[in-house]
Amino acid sequence: MIVDDHRLTTLHVDLGPEWRGGQNQALSLAIELRRMGHVAEMVALRGRPLGERARAVGVMVHEVGGRLSAGLLLRRIGAFDVVHCHDAHSLTAAWLAGVKPVVSRRVAYPISRRRYLRTKRIIAVSQFVKRSVVACGIPDEQVDVVCDGVTIPDKPALVGPGLLLGCVGWLLPEKGQELLIRAMPEVLARHPRCGLVLAGDGPSRRGLERLAATLGIGASVQFAGLVDNVDQVYRSLNVFVFPSLAEPLGSSLLAAMSYGLPCVALATGAVPEVITDGENGLLADSPDPSAFANAILLLLDAPHLAARLASAARQTIEERFSVERMARETLDVYRKAIA
Tell me: do 329 and 299 sit in the same domain: no
pLDDT score at 113: 87
Q: Is residue 86 part of a domain?
A: yes
Q: Residue 90: which CATH number?
A: 3.40.50.2000
Q: Is residue 28 part of a domain?
A: yes
Question: What percent of the chain is modeled with pLDDT above 90?
Answer: 92
Cα separation of the two ends of the chain: 26
Amino acid at the residue 130 = K
- Are 143 and 15 members of one domain? yes
The reply to whether 20 falls in a domain is yes
If asked whether residues 169 and 139 sit together in one domain, one would say no
Shared domain check, 331 and 311: no
Tell me, yes or no, whether 157 lies in a domain: no
- pLDDT tens digits, one per residue of 272-329: 999 999 999 999 999 999 999 999 999 999 999 999 999 999 999 999 999 999 999 9
Task: Mark whether 314 and 334 lie in a shared domain.
Answer: no
| pLDDT score at 339 | 87
**pLDDT on residue 2:** 39
User: Do residues 264 and 176 both lie within one domain?
Assistant: yes
Both 118 and 206 in a single domain? no
Say yes or no: 334 and 313 in one domain.
Answer: no
**Residue spans of beta strands (DSSP E) within 129-220:** 143-145, 164-168, 195-199
Domains: count for the chain: 2
Residue 137 lies in a domain: yes
d(CA 4, CA 240): 37
Query: Minimal CA–CA distance to 162: which of 194, 136, 137, 192?
Result: 194
Residue 4 falls inside a structural domain: no
CB 4 within 8 A of CB 37: yes
Q: HSE (CB half, 13 Å, CA atoms) of 23? A: 18
Distance, in Å, from the CA atom of 96 to the CA atom of 15, rounded to the nearest integer, reads 14
What number of CA atoms fall less than 13 Å from residue 45's CA on the CB side? 16
Which positions of the chain have pLDDT values less than 50? 1-4
pLDDT value at residue 159: 76
What's residue 148's pLDDT? 96
